[in-house]
A and B are shown apart, each in its own frame.
Chain A
Amino acid sequence: MKKIMFFPYFLVLCAVLITFSNTASENANSCCFNTAFTAGYVFKHDCRFKEVYGHGVVNAITGDICYYPWEVWGVGAKLSYWRAKGRTNFLKLRSIIQEVPVTLYARRIKDFNCCLQLYASLGGGFVWVKEKSYLGTAKAYKGIGEVEVGLNYPIWCCMNLTTAFRYLFPSQCYSGKKANVGGFDLRAGIGFSF
């Protein structure tokens, strides 16, 4: 049900961004925007996380917008939603974790003759974490950093395929035990350049 509810918001967001992209491309030749909507997996390497959520893979979707005021250099923002279901480590009762990392980044792109576009970015932000089980609900806000590399491949008009590999590197403590809220984020999706 929640997944179904997400799609209208996603479509509205796409429509707004596409409209915005047309306006932007008409009005500014020297500026360029790139947006991407991707889905994929986050591979966690925190041992205690794996005890509860298995192999540390969580469902993830990400929205990303980048503005290039200096040709190959850009700045952008990224919002992700991660969700995983697991079981508490002893009694094996249901537990759910949700993470929302929000980051700002600087990006460098490189165009290849085959139209392929490679980029690398470095940024930082915060992550909101909520975990819920019969034991109760735990919430936290923590700072994070990220490095990312990705590829954009144009497929039609302003649309392109995009893949990205990101590493988020926070390591924080909760209740005296270290909990690394980051991980490797591997994802793919559709991007729009305008």
Chain B
Amino acid sequence: MVGKIRAYTFFVLLFLIQNNISADNRVIATLGVGEDPAGIAITPDGRFAYVANNNDNSIPGEHTVSVIKLDTNTVIGTITDASFNQPYTITINADGTLAYVTNSNGTTISIIDIATNTVIGTITGFDGPSGMVITPDGTTAYVNNYGSPAGVGSGNATTVRVVDLTTNMIVGAAITVDLAPASLAITPDGKFVYTINYVDGNPGTGTMSIIDTSTNMVVGTIPGFSGPFSIAITPNGKYAYVTNFGSNNFTPVGKSVSVVNLTTNKVEKYIPLGTQPSGLALTPDGRFAYASNYNTLYLGPNFTDLTPFQGTVNIIDTCTNEVLCPVIIVGASPANIAISPDGIHAYVSNYSANTVSVINIVDEMWLNICR
């Protein structure tokens, strides 16, 4: 045990020295959730967070969704349902009444009634769905089919499906994108959906597909990503930030975030980050991006002995696209990040640690707090 602690301490120090950065531990709470927490979403009123517990090893009874009450930072419930099959992401509608859970090892999306925290229905017809976005008018959703298994791994699907949320039915033909669409985001005006396609995870092979929501056609493809994992679009709709996680064999690892200019549809900058940038979230004002570093590597031969080293969160100034000094130490294998609507807290799902780290992200000058 002591040896393990020493080893972890060594790797943390090594990471910090290598990156010439200082650590700032702003984690104010660490909450135990279910098995392999992945996606995390916060209700628009900022009262609750829902965590999809991916249960990568399909342990019976562990396909769950955890509910966190945010004013007390306590887990107030765990939702179980027969429809859950490796829940991967959660999307909450604009009025905060429904949460949609992608079942990444199956073909469905489960619908949770937030008032009762029970599953009230499913949407069928997918193939390893791994992400979902809802249009600003709340009537339509776009769901990417990664192919099973979802997340980092060998996705084998190439489509995005359109869902009519008034009927909870897939509508129209499948939109074909590149291999293994891992995640997607919609512009604030709802005109375009951007999917990031993992392909084989090797350097430079990943792509981004641009879908025009008025025609549901792919109108462009942006190359140059390396195992893209997460995408977030700034509130002004001008830029997208994409984490380059790296290869599905965890080598070569990705170590950057791509900044995509959505006016020119070109990658404008690669921002060096930690090891295996995974989740990414923007503050409500779009001023900062918080990106987690998964930092989980195979130590043995032939992809054995998968070992999570210290998970961290980097902060990017979106005005300068530079990484700021504080590095936040979180749990093992941080997968995704969500930021509260008031911009005061960030919530990080730690995949290997089965926890959620709560980070205080308030920044202050002397006289008052302005955010």
* Identity of the chain B residue whose Cβ is nearest the Cβ of A175 in the assembled complex: B368
Which of B138-146, B173-181, B241-249, B358-366 sits within the interface? B358-366
* Identity of the chain A residue whose Cβ is nearest the Cβ of B371 in the assembled complex: A135
Query: How extensive is the interface on chain B, given as a class?
Result: 20 to 34
Find residues 226-249 in chain B having any chain A CB closer than 8 Å to their own CB. Answer: none
Contacts of A90 in B (CB 8 A): 24, 26, 326, 361-364
How near does chain A come to B337, taking the closest CB pair, in angstroms? 16
B287 near A: Cβ within 8 Å?
A: yes
Mask of A81-108 contacts with B, CB within 8 angstroms, 1/0: 0000010111111010100000000000
Q: Interface majority SS on A: helix, strand, loop or mixed? A: mixed
* Cα-based distance from A129 to B363 in the complex (angstroms): 20
Pick the contact of A92 from B319, B325, B369 — CB < 8 Å? B325
How near does chain B come to A159, taking the closest CB pair, in angstroms? 38
Taking a contact as CB atoms under 8 Å apart, the answer to whether B363 and A175 are in contact is no
* Identity of the chain A residue whose Cβ is nearest the Cβ of B325 in the assembled complex: A92
Taking a contact as CB atoms under 8 Å apart, the answer to whether A135 and B24 are in contact is no
Mask of A37-78 contacts with B, CB within 8 angstroms, 1/0: 000000000101101110000000000000000000000000
Taking a contact as CB atoms under 8 Å apart, the answer to whether B366 and A179 are in contact is yes
Taking a contact as CB atoms under 8 Å apart, the answer to whether B364 and A88 are in contact is yes
A8 near B: Cβ within 8 Å?
A: no
Taking a contact as CB atoms under 8 Å apart, the answer to whether A91 and B326 are in contact is yes
* Identity of the chain B residue whose Cβ is nearest the Cβ of A97 in the assembled complex: B366
Mask of B345-371 contacts with A, CB within 8 angstroms, 1/0: 000000000000000011111111111
Interface residues in chain B, defined as those with a beta carbon under 8 Å from any beta carbon in chain A: 24, 26, 287-288, 315, 317, 319, 324-326, 361-371
Do A49 and B363 contact each other (CB < 8 Å), given the known contacts A90-B326, A91-B288?
no
Taking a contact as CB atoms under 8 Å apart, the answer to whether B368 and A138 are in contact is yes
Do A91 and B365 contact each other (CB < 8 Å), given the known contacts A134-B287, A135-B371, A136-B370?
no
Taking a contact as CB atoms under 8 Å apart, the answer to whether A89 and B370 are in contact is no
Contacts of A93 in B (CB 8 A): 317, 324, 363
* Identity of the chain A residue whose Cβ is nearest the Cβ of B328 in the assembled complex: A90
Q: Interface majority SS on B: helix, strand, loop or mixed? A: loop
Jot down 16 A-B pairs with beta carbons below 8 A, ordered by A: A46-B366, A90-B362, A90-B363, A91-B324, A91-B363, A93-B317, A93-B324, A93-B363, A134-B319, A135-B363, A135-B370, A136-B370, A138-B368, A175-B367, A175-B369, A177-B368
Interface residues in chain A, defined as those with a beta carbon under 8 Å from any beta carbon in chain B: 46, 48-49, 51-53, 86, 88-93, 95, 97, 129, 131, 133-136, 138, 140, 174-175, 177, 179
How near does chain B come to A180, taking the closest CB pair, in angstroms? 10
Do A88 and B363 contact each other (CB < 8 Å), given the known contacts A93-B324, A134-B287?
yes
How near does chain A come to B357, taking the closest CB pair, in angstroms? 16
Q: Which 9 A-B pairs have CB atoms at the shortest separation, nearest pair first?
A: A175-B368, A135-B370, A138-B367, A136-B370, A90-B363, A95-B365, A133-B365, A91-B363, A52-B366
Taking a contact as CB atoms under 8 Å apart, the answer to whether B315 and A91 are in contact is yes
Pick the contact of A131 from B26, B366, B371 — CB < 8 Å? B366
Taking a contact as CB atoms under 8 Å apart, the answer to whether B363 and A89 are in contact is yes
* Cα-based distance from A88 to B326 in the complex (angstroms): 12
* Cα-based distance from A170 to B160 in the complex (angstroms): 63
* Cα-based distance from A177 to B370 in the complex (angstroms): 13
Contacts of B315 in A (CB 8 A): 91
Contacts of A92 in B (CB 8 A): 324-326
Contacts of B371 in A (CB 8 A): 135
How near does chain A come to B228, taking the closest CB pair, in angstroms? 26
Contacts of A88 in B (CB 8 A): 363-365
Do A129 and B367 contact each other (CB < 8 Å), given the known contacts A90-B24, A90-B326, A91-B288?
yes
* Identity of the chain A residue whose Cβ is nearest the Cβ of B324 in the assembled complex: A91
